[in-house]
Amino acid sequence: MIKIGIIGCGFIGTQICSAVDSGAVPAVLFGVFDFSDEKANAVLKSLKSGNPKKCTPEEMIESCDLIVECASQDAVLKYALPAAENGVDMMVLSVGAFQNPDFYQKVKEAAAANNSKIYVPSGAIAGTDGLKSAAVANLSSVSVTTRKPVSGLAGSPYLVENSIDLSNLKEPTLVFEGSAAEAVVAFPKNVNVCATISLCGFGFEKTAVRIIADPTISENIHELEVFGDFGHMKMMIENKPSPLNPKTSYLAALSAVSTLKKITDPMQIGV
């Protein structure tokens, strides 16, 4: 069984640890890391099997087969390249870090040179398989519209820098419209789906993004629309936010667990 380490002990990291601990994912949990000792200790205390420890990402790079990043874009920027250079696989949840084309290329080349893999789960959106298939031919346009409750967008850098106050919002309001490259910087904890779609389609600069703050809803809603030689694809998904973090959809955690199952499963379906 593969030996894995978890960077980030929030909702997603906790769900992954629980899946490994229960045997739902056939793997060995080597250790966890979080800047908050309280979060790391809480995760370790909740586990019933194995002997995982609190450790540093550097220790994971030296000892693990796979590292799961579910912390931040900064964590990807700091550890993805060293992991790839050391021949260690990495699953990346904070996909927005790859909007930097130079960084993306360096990680990809290092992974190829050292026989390692970078895994990006589909996350909180559906349609990635169809989009990847459509991208084999020509794409005309790819757009993502994200609609979130006010609590799911609060504190985003774009809103703070532009003095956009959502506290008294009464109706759905468009707060951002631009490229995915701009969106993942403006809302680093909110729109990883846009980054994933960009990697599946035709890039961060050409993927159009609209973000709507909606005080009338309690779910995170993502709508993907694609035009190309294949035809027209449109789909919408309504995600329940995680019970611990309104910025994260519950489906994002399930997607990470599903990807781990797929990695360890000899039968590969839908690839």
Catalytic residues: 222
Sheet with 173-179: strands ordered across: 173-179, 207-213, 139-148, 220-228, 231-239
Please tell me the distance from the alpha carbon of residue 86 to that of residue 122, in angstroms, as a whole number.
25
> Inter-axis angle of helices 37-46 and 11-22, to 10 degrees?
20
- Nearest in space to 190 (alpha carbons), one of 157, 159, 153, 164: 153
Tell whether 86 is in a known binding site: no
124 is in an annotated binding site: yes
Residue 124: enclosing H or E segment and its boundaries?
none
Residue partners of 249: CB distance under 8 A and separation at least 6: 123, 124, 220, 239, 240, 241, 242
Rounded Cα distance between 31 and 34, Å, is 11
Annotated binding site: 124, 192
Annotated binding site for NAD(+): 124, 192
